[in-house]
Structure 1
């Protein structure tokens, strides 16, 4: 599943390509989008801005129309120069937004909805997101505050499950969940009641550091849609780019113990950890 850094890069690339441009063509394979376009055509509207909010991507058009998409497990946005051949088949196309020079194509996107500013505010998901870790206004203190507040309300919730909760912190996915817990030396199955203020600060700091490090490309005028394999270690070898994620049965890069994996939470997401670097602790901190 694309995580917040992937969506951030996609939004940045789309903004550079089609932001401020007039829509010259629109296609969709989704009936509910087609109905909106029939009633309020996109052609002639300007793409005012493209932005990410956690794992959601929002394209704002003039005339108070917003296209909201979520990639889930398999969706992606592609950019092509006008007339360039697509790298995926047309049967996978869900949305095409054309401008004079570019085609922005959404493939396999399972969630795509049009909203007005008012209807978006009433949406059950996007407005209720926690602070976006990649947002310019995000602070470690604010992230810790959200974690601590959730912990007080849900003391038995497991920390790795909470890190995936987009209403607590927006943007973290399954890779970062395991990597952040490892970096902080926190066992991912510990209950929130056992997590100290310092541990929360460390996890939020690493979450911001890792995610920012993976969106550094694209500061120039060029359009960057992919910057290579996600990385949390300093190693340049692609086989050594992560601490524990998908390394079940291999040696921990820090201590040599065997990295473990277990399914966790209602969605049975895979969680990776080192039992030596992330020992079990079951203590209650009085806040």
Structure 2
């Protein structure tokens, strides 16, 4: 499932390429024909992300809400203008040390693309293997023979300007809302540290967690508690905090809950800047490039079941929690 950093990157693409432009909307697969007709021909005025949900605003107080869910993704084609922050990513602003402060990447001029396309500027969302991908002519580094390109696969909605095209496939939710319903939807979500960087959001998160008997491993995935965290970030945050995922929220020390929030804010910012869920610390130049290129070298515990813990050597455990796979170290997180 695309996590919060991906959705923020998508909205930055829309801010740079669509906001201020008249947009033509269609539904090549037909499932969103009525909704597309409502926004067709309107100028895009805003693009916002809240956790895993995005909201595109159009003239006339009309909003398009998209939740990518497990398999959704946006594909961009045409003359893509890169956001300044995203353009400086792929190794240029990447890692943290154990205190959480930002460091320059070991090789700040290197652009390292992930082997799975996680940091692609052309396709953001679900992993490549889960759905039909772009045509060869659309892939990174190539040019289009014609514009706009023919839709590929089941495109729920296509947004088009004179220079750029955005195709949405496989979302869990795609609907047109008025401002009242947008506010109602956002009000149900937990805080997002990129939108709420101040103490009030930290206090809100801490207060909710400290009242709950629910295991912390479930609370971090509850979008009503905190917005944007998915399976990868859950596993990595808990390991970085050396916290047992089964610990009830109300039994987690207050300072540790606060540190979880601060660490999520750090990792989310790195994810937006680099396009990758980089959670490793203090890497030398060679290890950093390897981690940026491959998820296998980028995480402490995620997808490492049966492999020795990078810290203590105990085999990483895989279990199911909340109908999702949970990875953790039974020694470091005892």
Shift of 1:140: 5.8
Residues 164 and 173 in structure 1, CA contact (< 8 A), matched pair in contact too: yes
Pairing of 1:56-95 with structure 2 (within 5 A): 56-81=53-78, 83-84=146-147, 90-95=152-157
Mapped partners of 1:108, 1:11: distance in 2: 17
Mapped partners of 2:165, 2:26: distance in 1: 11
2:198 to 98, 122, 139: 139
Shift of 1:211: 1.1
State whether structure 2 residue 207 is matched by structure 1 residue 210.
Answer: no
Aligned to 2:207: 148
Q: SS at the partner of 2:220?
A: helix
Residues 4 and 172 in structure 1, CA contact (< 8 A), matched pair in contact too: yes
Aligned to 1:14: 14
Q: SS at the partner of 2:180?
A: helix
Residues 5 and 215 in structure 1, CA contact (< 8 A), matched pair in contact too: yes
Aligned to 1:49: 46
Q: SS at the partner of 2:54?
A: strand
Q: Deviations over 1:150-171 (max 9, x none)?
A: 431x3x2000100011111101
Mapped partners of 2:302, 2:203: distance in 1: 24
Runs of 4+ in structure 1 over 3 Å off: 29-33, 82-86, 88-91
State whether structure 2 residue 278 is matched by structure 1 residue 231.
Answer: yes
Shift of 1:256: 1.3
- Structure 2 unmatched runs, 5+: 80-145, 282-286
State whether structure 2 residue 187 is matched by structure 1 residue 127.
Answer: yes
Aligned to 1:109: 171
Residues 216 and 246 in structure 2, CA contact (< 8 A), matched pair in contact too: yes
Aligned length: 258
Shift of 1:57: 1.1
Mapped partners of 1:41, 1:263: distance in 2: 41
Aligned to 1:284: none
Shift of 1:31: 5.8
Q: Which moved more, 1:125-134 or 1:65-74?
A: 125-134
Pairing of 1:267-286 with structure 2 (within 5 A): 268-279=323-334
Task: Please give the TM-score of this superposition, normalised by the length of structure 2.
Answer: 0.72
- Structure 2 vs 1, CA of residues 31 and 85 (structure 1 numbering), >3 Å: closer, same or farther? closer
Residues 141 and 201 in structure 1, CA contact (< 8 A), matched pair in contact too: no
1:195 to 219, 241, 252: 252
Q: SS at the partner of 2:197?
A: coil
Mapped partners of 1:63, 1:168: distance in 2: 32
Shift of 1:26: 1.6
Residues 159 and 192 in structure 1, CA contact (< 8 A), matched pair in contact too: yes
Task: Please give the TM-score of this superposition, normalised by the length of structure 1.
Answer: 0.83
